[in-house]
Amino acid sequence: MEPKFSDSKFEWVTDLRVTRTGSDHEVDWVAYSESRKTYLEPNLKHCKGEIIRNYDMKFFVMDSDDTVLLKNNIRLFGNRPEVIVSVIQSLTVCSRQREKKLYVRLVGAANDPHVFCGDVLELIPILLDHQGAANGFCEKQKLEKYQKKWKSADDFVYKTISLKKFDEILEEFDCDKSLLILHADTTLAVMGEVAVERGSLVTTWAQDCVNVADVPTAIRFIFETVVKSVNWQKESCVVHDYCHKQLKDEIIKAMRKLMNYGGSYIKLRFVMEMIQKIKFMCIPTYDDQNYVPDHLFLNFDNPEEMDMRAYLRPAEFFDLPVYTNFLGNRLKKRAWMCRFYVEVGWLESFFTPGKCDGIRDMIASNLLHIVPSMYHRNICGYACENSSGKSKAKRKEVWQRLTAEVKMIGLIEYISTLAILLSKNSHYGACNLHHSSN
């Protein structure tokens, strides 16, 4: 049979203005599109707590019409879990209420956007149903083929496919692509804003309502929790002999394990389990942090104007490199600047030059998420790509030049150089999203 929709095209929305609406940043947000005159928000915003725990919820992005439908049902039948679930349990359930455009979130790099495989498997039957096309044995067999292909041997891995591959699969099923509206993953955008404020991780939701992060962020999660807060210039803790070497070996082993899943997203709960196993190896090293200087720089009345001693205290306490040019002529610095330099110091303190350079460089590139976007624009550093694919000699050269820039020319130029490294790892569409918060 001749395909009907081979010439159909995706629709796009690139003017989303994101507003945070509460303290639970991963769900408390709304995004407005002026071009479409619609608001987008996560379905999980309306079903926190017991609903997520007790019902088989699937994450999706609602538009204004979905929200109106939900509110009308609550008004008619009461604000009960079963009423809420009957409307927004999943995109499949919600689309049965009315024929609608389907919003598809994109993750990954700006020049190589990806779609979660779980989202694809849910979208295709919905599209076929909206088109009035047969969803018979042949279609189900093809869908089952992709289910098996994308099923990971590890339940903590969530695979993605490129937008190009997604396009090809839709053509294989003869789906009408004009029913789909593509947009940058808004949860990633919100969490990116929080990362600048607090130095936190940039995460999103898998289709089964699990918190996930891309591989660089998952590796940095390990770095944040078991590398930072330790003085790696010392060989042991107060109890064990030479325990820091054993810890370092296990930390790098855990990071290498995650490196095997490039292009996928990792369940954060699994990473937390890895972290706990590492901490149990030497409880004294991680147990008492009460007297450790604040290296997260969260407890300051004015994070825009911090005294330089706030940076020097943790740097000296943990024997981290102190980047003298950072002091400059201006003694007061912003919290994100202090946070950034402490992170770079721990990278230099923990990783031995010439060993695990690919892991170190991946974490370094991920650090750009804690830097305000205004400092990403003037890219004037070395024209090098992400060095994880380079030879060891090349990676060593790149890192030496980067750390030399930290020490010699200061923060702005170093960020510009890192921006090049991050260009293939940055979350899709961040430059197309505007942020505001209540």
Q: What is the pLDDT of residues 262-317, one digit of tens each?
A: 889 999 999 999 999 999 998 888 886 667 788 888 877 666 777 788 888 999 99
pLDDT at 83: 94
**Which of 53-67, 86-100, 353-367 bottoms out in mean pLDDT, i.e. has the lowest?**
353-367
Tokens of 297: 């720089």
pLDDT of 390 above 50: no
Region 230-237: what's the mean pLDDT? 84
Residue 193 clears pLDDT 60, i.e. is over it: yes
Compute the Cα dihedral for 38, 89, 157, 340 and give only its sign.
positive
**Most confident region among 94-108, 128-142, 289-303 by mean pLDDT:** 94-108
**Domain spans, the chain:** 11-184, 191-437
CA Rg, the chain, in Å? 24
Tell me the pTM. Answer: 0.85
Closest CA to 224 of 191, 266, 256, 272: 272
Per DSSP, helices labelled H in 309-383 are 309-317, 335-350, 357-366
Q: Provide the pLDDT confidence category of residue 97 given band limits of 50, 70 and 90.
A: confident
Q: Which three-class secondary structure string do you get for 38-91?
A: EEEEEHHHHCCCHHHHHCCCCCCEECHHHHHHHHHHHHHHCCCHHHHHHHHCCH
Over the chain, what is the mean pLDDT?
Answer: 83
DSSP 281: H
Lowest mean pLDDT among 82-86, 140-144, 313-317, 335-339: 335-339
Q: For residue 292, what are its two tokens?
A: 């450790």
Structure tokens at 193: 């804003």
Give the closest residue to 36 by CA, choosing from 57, 2, 53, 13.
13
Burial of 144 (0-12, 13-18, 19+ CB in 10 A): exposed
pLDDT band at 1, cuts 50/70/90?
A: low
**pLDDT at residue 426 in the model:** 43
Q: Which pLDDT does position 421 carry in this prediction?
A: 47
